[in-house]
Amino acid sequence: MATKSVSYSFQFLSMLSLTQQYPLKRAFLTGAASGLGLALALELAADGWQIGMADVHAERLAQALAAVESAGGKAWPFVLDVSDKSAYAQVARDFLDKAGGIDLLFNNAGVGDGGAFESYGLENYEWMVNINQMGVVYGCFYFIPTMKKQRSGHILNTASAAAIGCAPTMGAYNMTKAAVVAISETLYGELMDDQIKVSCIQPTYFKTNIADSARGGEAVRKATQKFIDRSGLDAATVAREILRRAGMGELYIILPKSARTMWRLKRLAPTWFRKKVKEQFMAAFQKAMR
């Protein structure tokens, strides 16, 4: 019982700053039916937020909706492929009609995959760009006008530590996540005078189902899953850290500590860093495949 009480206290403290900043508690999340998206929704639900939950998987979304409502949130489900700009525009309008505005926007939906640059089909590059990159663009494009009218709001874009490491065989994923960092940095400067905050989330591997969507072959899917299983990080822990640091207004939410060390090393010794990434990633990849 004492452990449970401590957990609830930590959860409350991690959310307190965001709730004070946005007392109307209106959030919209993509990729909300599983992984980090669901973990974020559950954290917000425990603090009584109203949540627009968007995901491409209707059945998972229905299950996630029930979990969020059981946790104390008010939620609206939206079956959405974030690469469909017309569908996204309609969903954004529907959410804003229901919620009356937006305080937190989580552009979280994404897919993960890998393959050697020249053998990873161009159709796969386009698929990944449309989801990981354009999905973020659409979310920002459709919700920023409302945030500007309110003169408030916080955009949280899910990138990845892959944007820092840029490991071999992950070209498509790396470039889309680097693009999310660039979009976030650009908007941070553009929107600060409108009192709109921007954060870019850059975690390493943690326990999600992102490997389910892999197109690069069984070897890629298997290795990715092993990296995830060995990470020692779960989505709930990552979600709590994101919300805590978002409440502090951080632009770069890089986690865990090892990822922040990687970020600093890249800035200090970029050429050496590139060589070490190749050595260490390929060694880990080969080990994962055993």
CATH value at residue 46: 3.40.50.720
- Give the CA-trace dihedral at 239, 78, 126, 255, to 10 degrees: 0
Q: Is the peptide bond before 203 cis (omega within 30 degrees of 0)?
A: no
pLDDT of residue 9 exceeding 50 = no
Residue 2 pLDDT: 45
pLDDT classification of 279: cutoffs 50, 70, 90? confident
Instruction: Give the number of domains in the chain.
Output: 1
Listed in sequence order, the residues at least 6 apart from 290 whose beta carbon sits closer than 8 Å to its beta carbon are: none
What does the mean pLDDT of the chain come to?
87
Q: Is the dihedral of CA 204, 210, 216, 219 positive or negative?
A: positive
| pTM beyond 0.75, yes or no | yes
CA geometry: angle 155, 53, 196, nearest 5 deg:
15
Give the tens place of pLDDT for each residue, 240-256. Answer: 999 999 999 999 999 98
CA geometry: angle 219, 110, 264, nearest 5 deg:
85
Q: Point out which residues pair with 100 in neighbouring strands.
A: none
**Domain range enclosing 261:** 2-288
Give the tens place of pLDDT for each residue, 20-55. Answer: 899 999 999 999 999 999 999 999 999 999 999 999
Percent of the chain with pLDDT over 90: 68
Give the tens place of pLDDT for each residue, 129-188. Answer: 999 999 999 999 999 999 999 999 999 999 999 999 888 888 999 999 999 999 999 999
Give the tens place of pLDDT for each residue, 96-140. Answer: 999 999 999 999 999 988 888 999 999 999 999 999 999 999 999
Distance CA 70, CA 45 (A): 8
What burial letters (b/e) apply to 122-140, b meaning 16+ CB within 10 Å? eebbebbbbbbbbbbbbbb
DSSP 8-state class, residue 81: -
DSSP 8-state class, residue 207: B
